[in-house]
Structure 1
């Protein structure tokens, strides 16, 4: 199959900018491989960089067993985070600028040292991390109605859209991330609860996976990067007027309103 990675990346970018979803890539390209999908993502990143956008980190997806089973895969995926995806704490999210957004609660790792695989361990991640911040990720799909397979979401930059960071960073050595609980409320009703152990058994294991995966492309995680380690619970649909409150044990509370 002869794929034009730049052309496919341009279609995804147009869908993002115009909030007009496209049909699944895996319907049009039956033999689309995971490797092809990452090449499309990297082509999309390259186009955004040429437009003046700045990469500030990466996000990891499909870190829970139920989500992996849903898509029939046995490992996570990743996408790139850009500067204009950041929402300040307390800043509302404009629903009209997204297609079908969903909200997730996550931990953000702020790196102080370079991480490059292969062979990166949880201990390496701890040593390389400046601190942890509570975060909310807003995922969105440029694929119509979220009818995605693994290759679709990878090509679509891991379904990245927006994210919120808490206003305080916590020293990682003081935290047992596996046992930090999270309560997720939507419009005042508790919908989901979870713990860090839901993320590949340990959120730092998720970051180690990413560093090792990126080594296949000769890419490393760099100082100052923000790494969203994966959702603690299932994502919730978001519409205009919805208010999400996510409370993290010892890390505080984040609130996000869609307008």
Structure 2
């Protein structure tokens, strides 16, 4: 699967890009979801990533630090939930990381949903044209179960692909489990995932549900990030994509996921209005 950028002719001028970025930033700052940005933009991935890059630059200027990337929309069931048909990517900032077993203030999120994933921590850069499976696999230092708390600044999750790309791939927070393991001979296609809400299973899947293999998702991400001019580097955390359907977060609930061979990961959410 390739990830080349669309033609530059599809890219609108800076005022349009800045207007879309301003709409999303206002929603993030106010906590009030906004209208989709697709009314401002052409329906192209390049336009969406141009907005994402503006918002990323603003985050960096405000003192945030990028610690990795996320791949979105790798699971066919999640694609069906959102009416899209291709993956996308976003950046992970340091202030998005939530410790395993901790509590998240749900009031700081807009419309959170949650999904379980395999997270990969890179031990080597993934740049250049050589992204053969052997090199991609060798780049992974360790793997760990994760929960991604996805969120949308766009009201009602009324998103097209350009909307979610512009909105940093609908990123919110993420949780890494406490038991990272070396990749070694682990077959990530075969891992089994079960995610529970207060002890009741609400999502399940396998590694094969993530683009056929979380390492195939990593290869897709490496090519896409390279083509956007920001290749993956050693030390990056990569959320490789959902292993099962995402579910809406219920305030006050505890979510835990078990990924076979990778151990558990857990997070709790406050009730609405809890200080």
CA–CA distance in structure 1, aligned partners of residues 82 and 175 of structure 2: 26
How do residues 25-174 of structure 1 correspond to structure 2 at under 5 angstroms? 25-26=37-38, 28-29=39-40, 31-69=42-80, 73-174=84-185
Report the 3-state secondary structure (helix = DSSP H, G, I; strand = E; otherwise coil) of the residue aligned with 1:250: coil
Normalising by structure 2, what TM-score? 0.89
1:72 positional shift:
5.5
Question: Which of 26, 38, 42 is the equivalent residue of 1:14?
Answer: 26
Q: Please say if 1:254 is aligned against 2:265.
A: yes
How does 1:158-197 map onto structure 2 within 5 Å? 158-197=169-208
Structure 1, unmatched stretches of 5+, are none
Q: Tell me, which stretches of 5 or more residues in structure 2 are unaligned?
A: 1-11, 271-275
Give the Cα separation in 2 of the matches to 1:236 and 1:41: 24
**Cα deviation digits, residues 229-255 of structure 1 (max 9, x gap):** 000011110122111111111211112
TM-score (norm 1): 0.94
SS in 1 for 2:184: helix
Structure 1 distance, partners of 2:220, 2:200, is 34
Once structures 1 and 2 are overlaid, which stretch shifts more, 236-245 or 211-220?
211-220
Aligned counterpart, 1:207: 218
Give me the whole-angstrom Cα distance separating, in 1, the residues matched to 2:238 and 2:69: 5
CA–CA separation in structure 2 for the residues paired with 1:57 and 1:182: 23
3-state SS in 2 of match to 1:114: coil
Residue-by-residue CA offset, 1:22-43 (whole Å, 9 max, x unaligned): 10111x2263421110000001
Query: Does structure 1 retain, via aligned residues, the 8 Å contact 2:178–2:265?
Result: no
Aligned equivalents of 2:251 and 2:216: distance in 1? 35
Displacement after TM superposition at 1:216 (Å): 1.8
How many pairs align?
Answer: 258
When the two chains are superposed, the root-mean-square deviation of aligned CA atoms in Å is 1.6
1:153-177 Cα offsets, whole Å, 9 max, x none, are 0000000010001112111113110
Matched residue SS, 2:152: coil
Alpha-carbon distance between aligned partners in 1 of 2:228 and 2:116, rounded to the nearest angstrom: 28
The answer (yes or no) to whether the contact 2:116–2:244 under 8 Å persists in 1 is yes
Q: Distance in 2 between matches of 1:68 and 1:255?
A: 24
In 1, the alpha carbon distance for the partners of 2:172 and 2:185 equals 30
> The residue matched to 2:42 in structure 1 has which SS?
coil
